Every structure is written in C-alpha cells, then in structure tokens.
Amino acid sequence: MKKSHKNLRRFLFLSVLAGSLLACEGIPDKTDDDGTNYDGPPKQIIPVQQAKTIYDSYTKRRVPIIKDFEEAEDSTQEFHPTRYGQYSYETMKHYMSFIEQEAKLAKVEIKGLRFYFANYPADGSVGSNSKYARHNTFFLLPTTDFNGEELGFFIRVDENGNRKAVAVRDLVKNKNTLQRQKGSGKQQKGAPGFGSKMLLLNPVFQSGNEENVSLILNDSQMVPPPRQDDDFKRN
C-alpha cells in the first residue's frame, strides 16, 4: 500500500512538471527591449486581393491621366508614373525612434502619421535624385494634439535648448504672411521662408535666434523610374 501511494505521488509530481514545461513552451520569451504587447494584426490589414483591386483601379483611373499630362508637357520621352515608394525597414525604425525622442523632449505625444501625396518639381531642384523630377512622391508628417485639434508638427529649439512642438500650419501661415508683405514692400526680419536651399535640403533650419527641427520623412526610393516590375503588375 505504501508503495502504491509513493508511486502515485511520483506520478502526480511528474505530471505537474510536464504540464508546466508544456505551458512555458507556448509563451514567447520576453526580453528587456520588447516593449510591445502583440494582440493580433491591426484592423486596417486588408487581403491581398483587395490590395490588387485598388492597385488596378489606380492603374485604370489615374495612371493614364498622369502619363498623358506629363507627355504633353515633354513629348521627347515616355513618362512612367510612380507606383510606389520604399524605405528600408531599418530606416523606418530609425525614423520612429527619432520622432519619438523629439516628441518626448518636447513633452508631447505623437497621435498619428500623415502620408501626404506630393510631386517633385520639373526642374529637378528638390529630391535626392534629379531623375525623380515630375514624378509623384509622398512624405510622412507626425501629428500631435494642439488644444483639441490634431495637427502635424515640427520642433522649435530656443537659444536655451528648450524644445517645443509647433504646428506646421503656423509656419505655413508665417510664410504666406511674409509673401504678402513682400508684395506690399514690407518684410519681417528672421521670418522663415520656404524658398532657400537650406530649408529644402537641411532638416534643421534657422528662424531668428531659434532652431527648427523638421520631422518630415521623404527621399524614399521611388518606382519608377527606372522602369521595373512591382508586386502586382509588370510596368
């Protein structure tokens, strides 16, 4: 009888131990740098076929219009409209870390990322490569809350190194005001302007005694040019 009880206790102990090991195998290891709580895919994920449907809709309803317009502007070469832009995964991680750090220093919370559609000028003066001239592009702009309104922002650094989030809209308003004053013979000293090469090429630009840090991401690899295959259709 004692032997039977002893064997039963041993069996129960081994069963509990085995169950514990199996349970642990089903739980992914947590590392110190893992700050994410995975809870399944985002609700915005769409099926591949739906992606193909909207891709084909753009091919039918937008590509011919862009192509006809650009080739009417310059009939010397065939024009291939942009179909996608790409950043490396490392670039995106770097970008997210950068804007999160800047927002933290400015004591604001990032609410979202806006993807603005844009177009490189025909003269090739803007963009990482002149071959992108006349082609569509996009840029990313983080947003935060300004008195209950979600707006894109940049960071203003004063002469003491203090950081403050400023709405991009305010900078644009100042630029428009400056243009109107130039037209009437007046000009504000130290007001930001969008026409300088420094502003176009350098993410850090001056405004009086302050330094403005842009959080806008652009200069991705745009396709085309050059003409090449993509994931949904041969160009």
Q: CB-hemisphere CA count at 13 Å for 197?
A: 2
pLDDT at 180 over 60: no
∠ CA 71-73-78, nearest 5°, is 25
17-21, 62-66, 173-177 — which is least confidently predicted? 17-21
pLDDT reading at 214 higher than 90: yes
pLDDT, greater one: 194 or 226: 226
Q: How confident is the model at residue 33 (pLDDT cuts 50, 70, 90)?
A: low
> What pLDDT is stored for residue 38 in this prediction?
79
- Percent of residues, the chain, with pLDDT higher than 90: 57
Average pLDDT over residues 112-117: 98
105 vs 15, residue with greater confidence:
105
Cα distance between residue 72 and residue 79, in whole Å: 10
Distance of CA 16 to the CA centre of its chain: 49
Judged against a pLDDT cut of 50, whether residue 157 lies above it is answered with yes
Span 6-34, mean pLDDT? 51
Residue 76 DSSP class: T
Q: State the CB neighbour count (10 A cutoff) for residue 213.
A: 17
Mean pLDDT to the nearest integer, 41-57? 96
pLDDT interval class at 22 (50, 70, 90):
very low
Residue-by-residue DSSP string for 18-47: HHHHHHHHTSPPP-TT------SS-TT---
65 has pLDDT over 70:
yes
* Local confidence band at 1 (pLDDT 50, 70, 90 cut-offs): low
What would the mean pLDDT of 143-168 be, rounded to a whole number? 96
pLDDT of residue 11: 53
Contact 187, 177 (CB under 8 A): no
Per the CB < 8 A criterion, the answer to whether 63 and 210 are in contact is no
Q: What is the mean pLDDT of residues 141-166?
A: 96
Please check the confidence at residue 218 and state whether its pLDDT lies above 50. Answer: yes
pTM: 0.73
Residue 49 has pLDDT above 90, yes or no: yes
Could you tell me if 121 and 109 are in contact, meaning their C-beta atoms sit under 8 angstroms apart? no
